[in-house]
Amino acid sequence: MEREGKPSGISEVERAIAEALLRWYETHRRDLPWRRRRDPYAIWIAEVMLQQTRVETVIPYYERFLARFPTLQDLAAAPLEEVLKAWEGLGYYARARHLHEAARRLMEERGGEFPRTLAEWRRLPGVGPYMAAAILSIAFGQDIVALDGNAIRVLARLFAFDQDPRRPAGRRQLQQRAERLLPSGQAGAFNQALMDLGATLCTPKSPRCPECPLRAFCAAYAQGNPEAFPVRAPRRMLPHYDVTAGVIEADGRVLIAQRPLQGMLGGLWEFPGGKVEPGESLEECLQRELREELGIEVEVGEPLLTLRHTYTHMRITLHVFRCRIRSGTPQPIGCADVRWVPIAELDRYAFPRTDQRIVEWLRQEGSSSLTRQTTGRSRT
DNA sequence: AAGCCGTGGAG
DNA sequence: TCTCCAAGGCT
């Protein structure tokens, strides 16, 4: 008794798995902001933000972003700077640049109409195989499997899948096996059910198998080693770098530079500086960086603060110094732009986390020195 | 193919 | 303090 529109040879077990999954999802699905609506724009924004990012982290960003850019038209019409500001602190900033560029293209080339095929979605910057499938299944109800990290983990355990799902061959294999499970007309629920299951029960460490609706079908559970799946590659050691940054104040303003649009933290603003080279002192590094990036000669003053930070592929210790310009006028030589900004207006610019901490420090320093001044004046 | 790309929370 | 890693995509 084959159902229509499905691959042939769907077994009773495969049907039972999908049924158990969907039944569990009906009662256990998480109430998330982007699940309260079904328009492609909202789903798209959520999917971009959720890349490699926890739900709890995304929610406040999502709410603010949709309030600020309610429609595709609003997003396309906005300056990139405002989109980056809305993204500030969320990380992986290329997502914001790609999202903005894609919105502009959708408006210009399609009159604001969203694609309805995988191939068309994939042509948009920032849209990969997962996101295209997720949007089409969730927002358009198309019968397409969307495998994210959660779904991959759930399925790898369900099948005790011994290949590496990050490699193309393993990925294709898992995709095919997932498609056999997909109940037609319910791909959106099916995909999200796998994600919720992976996020809440079938977690990377200490999965809560006793509560799992798929326990009876799970090969890894039967073997007693669910944590062994999916197979993962060993981690590499993170290199460490010493980095310097300069705070240059003049006439009540502080100098900030915008990072090049491409590459790490692209388009964000920072206090200029850079990596210390072998055999170089912190002061020498800062002088060299400011000469190379801004074309100015500086005198390095007092150290202000030291920050540690871990990025995806390196750790840094950031040494922040006050600096004074000896000669030259700052120009955007090794950066996208340069600006003198009153400390009170720094919050208009998008900074990476480390520089946000410097901004915070400057504000406190400013208010405390203001307190000192006020106290001093009152005594005079 | 494999390295790059942020951040914060959990354990 | 340290490791792991979360609704991936780009080059």
Q: How many residues appear in chain A?
A: 380
**Whose structure tokens read 């079938």?**
A202
Question: Three-state SS for A208?
Answer: coil
Of A110 and A231, the structure prediction assigns the larger pLDDT to A110
DSSP A345: G
Nearest in space to A18 (alpha carbons), one of A197, A141, A170: A197
- Map residue A201 onto helix, strand or coil: coil
Q: Cα dist. A224→A153, A215, A220, A276 in Å?
A: 16, 11, 6, 50
A295 in a labelled binding site: no
Q: Where are the beta strands (DSSP E) in chain A?
A: 240-250, 253-258, 269-270, 273-275, 297-310, 315-327, 337-342
- C-alpha span between A297 and A284 (Å, rounded): 11
A127 touches strand C (CB under 7 A): yes
Per-residue pLDDT reduced to its tens digit, A317-374 = 999 999 999 999 999 999 999 999 999 999 999 999 999 999 999 998 877 654 434 3
Strand C nucleotides with an atom less than 7 Å from a protein beta carbon: 3-10
Distance CA A266, CA A97 (A): 9
Mean confidence (pLDDT) of chain A: 93
- The bridge status of strand A315-327 relative to strand A240-250 is parallel
What's the CA A113/C1' C2 distance, rounded, in angstroms? 48
Q: Around A360, how many Cα atoms within 13 Å sit in the side-chain half-sphere?
A: 9
Mean pLDDT of A243-261: 97
CA to C1' distance (Å), from A312 to B10: 18
Asked whether residue A258 carries a pLDDT value surpassing 90, the answer given is yes
- Nucleotides of strand B lying closer than 7 angstroms to a protein CB: 1-9, 11
Q: Partners of A300 in the beta sheet?
A: A323
Q: Using 50, 70 and 90 to split pLDDT, how confident is the model at A2?
A: very low
d(C-alpha A345, C-alpha A349), whole Å: 8
Residue nearest B2, CA–C1′ metric = A167
- Per cent of chain A over pLDDT 90 is 87
pLDDT score for A240: 95
Instruction: Evaluate if residue A209 carries a pLDDT over 90.
Output: yes
The confidence score (pLDDT) of residue A369 equals 59
Residue A8's pLDDT is what? 59
- Helices A12-28 and A187-200, packing angle to 10 deg: 70
Task: Give the CA radius of gyration of chain A.
Answer: 26
Active site residue A47: yes
A210 prior amide bond cis, ω within 30:
no
Domain boundaries, chain A: 12-228, 240-379
Region A130-138: what's the mean pLDDT?
98
> Does the CB of A186 sit below 7 A from strand C?
no
Q: Is 60 exceeded by the pLDDT of residue A1? A: no
- Residue A135 Cβ under 7 A from any strand C atom: no
How much is the pLDDT for A315? Answer: 96
Phi, psi (rounded to 5 degrees) for A11: -90, 165
Cβ distance A310 to A238 under 8 Å? Answer: yes
| pLDDT band at A99; cut points 50, 70, 90 | very high
Each residue of A18-73: pLDDT tens digit? 999 999 999 999 999 999 988 999 999 999 999 999 999 999 999 999 999 999 99
Whether A378 has a pLDDT exceeding 60, the answer reads no
| pLDDT tier for residue A76 given thresholds of 50, 70 and 90 | very high
Predicted confidence at residue A38, as pLDDT, reads 85
Contacts of A14 (CB under 8 A, 6+ apart): A180, A181
pLDDT of residue A269 exceeding 60, the answer is yes
- The answer to whether the CB of A175 falls within 8 A of the CB of A145 is yes
A205 pLDDT exceeds 60?
A: yes
Count of beta carbons in the 10 Å neighbourhood of residue A279: 6
Report the nearest residue to nucleotide B11, CA vs C1'. A205
Average pLDDT over residues A115-143: 98
What architecture does CATH give domain A240-379? Alpha-Beta Complex (3.90)
pLDDT digits (tens, 9 = 90+) for A143-163: 999 999 999 999 999 999 999
Token duo for residue A376: 């001093």
A131 touches strand C (CB under 7 A): yes
> A12-228 architecture in CATH?
Orthogonal Bundle (1.10)
